[in-house]
Amino acid sequence: MIYLDHNATTPVDPAVAEKMAWFLREHFGNPSSIYPLGRRAKELMTEARERVAAALGVDRGEVFFTGSGTESDNFAIFGTFEASPGRDEFVTSVIEHPAVIETAKALERRGAKVTYLPVDAQGTIGLDDLRSALTLKTGLVSIMHANNEIGTIQPIAEVVRIAHERGIPVHTDAVQTFGKTDVDARKLGVDYLTVSAHKIYGPKGVGALYIRKGAAICPFLRGGRQERGLRAGTENTAGIIGFGEAVRVLEEKGRKERARIEHLAETLKVGIEKNVPGARFNGHPTNRIKSTVNFAFPGLEAEAILLALATKEIYVSTGSACSEESEEVSHVLRAIGLPPEIARSAIRMSLGRSNTEEDIAVVLRELPEIIRKLKSITAFHPEG
C-alpha cells in the first residue's frame, strides 16, 4: 500500500500506541480525583501538556486540550465572540477548513457580520483586503496557517501585526502546519492557535487550543473545572497522553525526517510536471507545506483517477477528507480561480513518514499511465 493522504490523517506511531496501551492498562484514575490514582493520571496529563506547550513555544498554562481540531476552532471563534459583546464582526478567509467556515456561518445566523477574505491564484490572502475588512467592531480575525488542500502558507505574522495595531485578536488554525513546519505561537504572535493530534501520528479525537495568557475567551463546554473551567468534561486522558507522546516522537525525528519527506514530495511534483502532459499544479510553488502536492488533470474526473490509483493500492484524496462524500466542488480550488470542471479533476497527494523513494517511483510509473488511459477513454466521449 502507498498511502498519500497524510493531510487527512496519519497512522498512529508505534510508540504512541504503546504508551496509550500502557496508560489504559495501568492508569484508570480520574485526573480530578485527589488520591494517588487520580494524581498520577493528572501528572501524566501535565507531562503531555508540557510537551505540546514546548513544541508550540508557549507555557503549559496556555494549552487547553479539546476533542479535536474542529472543536478547537469552534472554541476559539464562539468563545471570543461571546467574550466580546458589541464586537460582532468577524474576519476570516474563503479557503478555511469547514471547521471555521461553518462556525462563521453560525455566527452570521446569530447576527454577526462576517467578511471572507479572497485569495489569489496561489491561495494567499491579500493584506490590503485584510486592512479594509477591519473595523472598530471586529472581534476576531481567524486565518489558517496552511491550507489542507493545496498547502499554501498564509502570512500570519503580518496578519497579527495589522490586527493588533487595531487591538483585534487573531486565531490561526495550525492543524496542517504543526509537525510539518515550525509552529511557534509566540513568534507568530497569535492569541489563539489550533492543533490536532491525529495529523501528527497521534490518536484521533484529541486537539488543543493555545490561548495566550490574558486573552479573552468564554468557556466552550460548561460543567466541572476541567481545563481550568473552559472545557468541562472528564478528559480523554489516554488520547491526551498519546498526543504528548506523538509530540515527543516528532521532536525526536525532527527536521531530518521533514527534509526527507519534502524531498520526496518535490520529486513527485517535478515528475508529474514532466511526465503528465496538461497536468496543472495547484497551490503556492514555494511558500507552502511542501508535502502537499495538488494537481488538476483537465478533462478527467478526479474520482476516476482516485479509484484507478486505489486499484494499485495507491491512496490519494480529491480534496479535504471532510468534503469527500459531498458532490460539491472544492471551495478552495474555486477560490484560487479554477473553473468547476477543472476543480473536479484535481487530486491531492499528501506525503508523510510512511513514504519511501520506492513509493514515489511507483506513483510516477502508474499515474502517467492511468491518466493516459483515462484520457483515451474520455476521448471517445467528448460530452462526458
User: Any idea which residues carry the catalytic annotation?
Assistant: 322
Q: Which is nearer to ligand PLP, 178 or 295 (CB)?
A: 178
Beta pairing class for 192-196 and 207-211: antiparallel
Contact with ligand PLP (CB under 6 A) among 196, 282, 317, 318: 196
When asked if residue 207 is in the footprint of ligand PLP (CB under 6 A), the reply is yes
Cell 466542488 -> residue: 329
Q: Which of 175, 289, 329, 351 binds ligand PLP (CB under 6 A)?
A: 175
Cα 271 off chain centre by: 26
350 binds ligand PLP (CB under 6 A): no
- Asked if 163 contacts 192 with a C-beta cutoff of 8 angstroms, the reply is no
For ligand PLP, which residue of 49, 97, 180, 258 counts as binding (CB under 6 A)?
Answer: 97
Q: Could you tell me the smallest distance in angstroms from the CB atom of residue 7 to ligand PLP?
A: 6
* Contact flag: residue 74 with ligand PLP (CB under 6 A): no
Calculate the alpha carbon distances from 290 to 156, 220, 308 in Å. 18, 34, 25
Question: Rounded distance, CA 21 to CA 34, Å?
Answer: 23
- CB closer to ligand PLP out of 138 and 292: 292
Q: Is 331 in the site for ligand PLP (CB under 6 A)?
A: no
Stretch that binds ligand PLP, among 63-71, 163-171, 181-189, 259-267 (CB under 6 A): 63-71
Rounded least distance, CB 326 to ligand PLP, Å:
14
Query: Is residue 94 part of the contact set for ligand PLP (CB under 6 A)?
Result: no
Q: Is 70 near ligand PLP (CB under 6 A)?
A: yes
Q: How far is the CB of 195 from ligand PLP (least distance, A)?
A: 9
Should residue 318 be labelled a site residue for ligand PLP when binding is judged by CB under 6 A? no
In this complex, which beta carbon is closest to ligand PLP, that of residue 333 or of residue 367? 333
Residue 294 interacts with ligand PLP (CB under 6 A): yes or no: no
The region of 131-139, 168-176, 256-264, 330-338 touching ligand PLP under the rule CB under 6 A is: 168-176
Q: Closest separation between CB of residue 111 and ligand PLP, Å?
A: 25
Query: Total binding residues for ligand PLP by CB under 6 A?
Result: 16
Which residue in the block uniquely carries the three cell numbers 489542507? Answer: 148
Q: Which residue has the cell 497569535?
A: 190
What element of type H or E holds 196?
Answer: strand 192-196
What residues does 5 pair with on adjacent strands? 350
Between 357-379 and 237-275, two packed helices, what is the crossing angle to 10 degrees? 60
Binding region for ligand PLP (CB under 6 A) out of 173-181, 223-231, 252-260, 268-276:
173-181
DSSP per residue over 161-211, as a string? HHHHHTT--EEEE-TTTBTTB---HHHHT-SEEEEEGGGTTS-SS-EEEEE
Report the candidate in 161, 140, 143 with the shortest Cα–Cα distance to residue 152.
143
Question: Residue written as cell 487530486?
Answer: 347
Please name the residues in contact with 213: beta carbons below 8 A apart, sequence gap of 6 or more.
59, 61, 62
C-alpha span between 333 and 54 (Å, rounded)? 35
Interacting span for ligand PLP (CB under 6 A) from 66-74, 164-172, 184-192, 271-279: 66-74
58 three-state secondary structure: coil
* Interface positions with ligand PLP (CB under 6 A): 68-70, 73, 97, 99, 144, 148, 173, 175-176, 196, 198, 207, 320-321
